[in-house]
């Protein structure tokens, strides 16, 4: 079993829909990243959080440390949001990232 599990693996939605991507992890962490990867490979960090909730524009990330679960929400989704979204946890004590396999999001106009 992977230390970081994401669901769903693939998600296709219509423009304007509310999107939720989930991440569960099984190890002790000091923080969790949500990352966005477009075709071609470049990775952009969207959020790093260790508790509660963060919001940036149409993106919202939440984390529940007790349940070892995080969610990434996208409101009013747009085709430009189409990308792979990766959850990565910063392992407590060794500061290296362990990644989920990603969620491929496609937003149809």
Partner 1 sequence: DTGVSQNPRHKITKRGQNVTFRCDPISEHNRLYWYRQTLGQGPEFLTYFQNEAQLEKSRLLSDRFSAERPKGSFSTLEIQRTEQGDSAMYLCASSLDPPPYEQYFGPGTRLTVT
Using CB under 8 A, list all residues that contact partner 1. 4, 30-31, 33, 35, 40-45, 48, 50, 86, 88, 90, 94-102
Spell out the alpha helix ranges (H) of the chain. Answer: none
Closer CB to partner 1, residue 96 or residue 109? Answer: 96
Q: Report in angstroms how near the CB of residue 88 gets to partner 1 at its nearest.
A: 7
10 vs 70, 86, 105, CA distance in Å? 17, 12, 6
Closer CB to partner 1, residue 45 or residue 64? Answer: 45
Q: Report in angstroms how near the CB of residue 3 gets to partner 1 at its nearest.
A: 11
- Nearest CA among 54, 77, 61 for reference residue 22: 61
Q: Report in angstroms how near the CB of residue 57 gets to partner 1 at its nearest.
A: 18
Q: Report in angstroms how near the CB of residue 50 gets to partner 1 at its nearest.
A: 7
Opening angle at CA 46, ends 43 and 52, nearest 5: 145
Closer CB to partner 1, residue 30 or residue 75? Answer: 30
Side-chain-side CA neighbours of residue 51 (13 Å): 1
């Amino acid at each position: 079993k992977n230390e970081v599990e994401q669901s769903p693996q693939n998600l296709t939605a219509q423009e304007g829909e509310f999107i939720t991507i989930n991440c569960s992890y099984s190890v002790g962490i000091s923080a969790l990243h949500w990352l966005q990867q477009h075709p071609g490979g470049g990775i952009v960090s969207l959020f790093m959080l260790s508790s509660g909730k963060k919001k940036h524009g149409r993106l919202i990330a939440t984390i529940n440390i007790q349940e070892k679960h995080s969610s990434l929400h996208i409101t009013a989704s747009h085709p430009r949001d189409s990308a792979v979204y990766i959850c990565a946890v910063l392992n407590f004590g060794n500061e290296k990232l362990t990644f989920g396999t990603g969620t491929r999001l496609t937003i149809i106009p």
